Structure formats: C-alpha cells, structure tokens
Copies of this chain bind each other. A is one copy, B any other.
Amino acid sequence: MSQHIVSSFDRDLEAVQAMVVKMGGLVEAQLLDAAQALETRDEELAETVRGRDKAVDKLEEQINEEAARLIALRSPAASDLRVALSVIKISGSLERVGDYSKNIAKRTQVLSQMPTISGSAGAIRRMAQAVEGMLKDAIDSYIQRDEKLAADVRSRDIEVDQMYNALFREFLTYMLEDPRNITACMHLHFIAKNIERMGDLATGIAEQVIYLVTGEMPDEDRPKSDSVTLDKVED
C-alpha cells in the first residue's frame, strides 16, 4: 500500500477486505465452538453454532455485493480485477467452512445420544485447532499479500491429512471391534472428513494468495501425506 498512490479502488478494496477478515474470524470461532461442543457434549453450544451460520451466510452475501459494486464503480484494470474477484472466491470458501461447522454441530446433537468413542473427540478438537490456525494464517497472508506465510499454510495441510488418516484407522478398529459403535463412528468419521476438507479450503485460500502475488498457481503436486490409507482418495 505504501509503494503506490492510494486510489479509490484501494480504499474500497480495504473496506471489503475488512469484511473478509471479519468473516474469517467468525468462521474460525464457529469451527472451534463446534469442536468444543463435540468434546464436552454441549448441545446448547452446538445449537448456538447452528444458529450463527446465518450470520456467516449473510456476510458472504454482503461481501459479494460489495465486490460487485466495487467492480462496477471502479472498472478496475486486469490486476485489480483479479484482486476483486479473489474476494468472491475467498468468501465462498469461508462460507463452505461455515457450513461444515454447522454440520459438525448437527452431528454433535445426534452423537450426544450415543455411547462415547473414547479419545476421538479430543483428537478431533486438536485437528480443528490445527485447521483453525491454517484459516487464520491464510486470511492473514491474504491481507498482507504474504506469499511465504501462504506457502507455510499449504505445507501444514499434510499434518491435518495425517491426523485424519490416524482417526480413520481408529474408527475402523472401533467398528470392527463392536458393531454397536458403527453409527457413532460413521458420524465421527464424517466430522473428521469435514475438518480435513476445511484444511483443503484453507489451502485453497493460500493458493489464491500465491496466485495473486506471483501471477501463477502453485504446482499441482502440493505436499501430501505419504501414508496412503484406503480412504485417502480425495481430490
């Protein structure tokens, strides 16, 4: 910002980006609260998470409207247009992260009626914390156009994949041990999968940042966990 004259476009963009930061913060809180509700079997907190998703959706709508208004009003040139369009992509990703948190909250309410699968909720919470950190840094890297921080987010996705793989094996063991665990484990497995997907979405935001800064999307062969379980067949 300090290197060139601040234009009307830049000022308007800053306002939209502030909304993206706000949306990021809300979505991070949703994820952490959803994971906590799961661990403490707090149905009330789960209900709060479900209700708050409307605010996330509303924010995405507002951001899209503002970005469209910005484009219409300022008719930005190619590189600025790319930035304005990235706002739409990023808020779309955050909205999906919000949806997954809401889904976790719904499953938490169902799981509260079932036998506990020992240790799993704690492992899921740790996974959620790792992904929350990725989301936070992805948004930060976006605001600061920090390519290095974005690359760091991208590389951390491998840890989340490993956590997911470990959980998948654990759930399979519990199901084989006792068929009465099957339904609970399937819900927990979907929750773990949803968090793993949030990690992918944070990585996607980081890749947008790299694209904005360098003009090129990073290589396809992003670091992936070596441990190939039968289930790790995403993308």
Contacts and interface: CB of A to CB of B under 8 A. Distances in A.
Oligomer copy total: 2
A68 interface: yes
A230 B106 CA distance: 10
Interface string A72-97: 10011110011001001100100000
Say what secondary structure dominates the interface of chain A. Answer: helix
Given A107-B233, A172-B183, A81 B92 contact: no
B68 A81 contact: yes
A125 to B, nearest CB: 19
A179 interface: yes
A195 to B, nearest CB: 15
A177 to B, nearest CB: 9
A103 B231 contact: no
Contacts of A64: 85
Interface in A135-186: 172, 175-176, 179, 182-183, 186
Interface in A183-212: 183, 186-187, 189-190
Interface in A217-235: 230-231, 233-235
A132 interface: no
A18 interface: no
Given A68-B82, A88-B88, A106-B233, 10 more contacts: A71-B81, A72-B77, A72-B78, A99-B235, A102-B235, A103-B234, A110-B233, A175-B179, A176-B182, A187-B230
The 5 closest A-B pairs by CB, nearest first: A106-B233, A75-B75, A72-B81, A176-B179, A68-B81
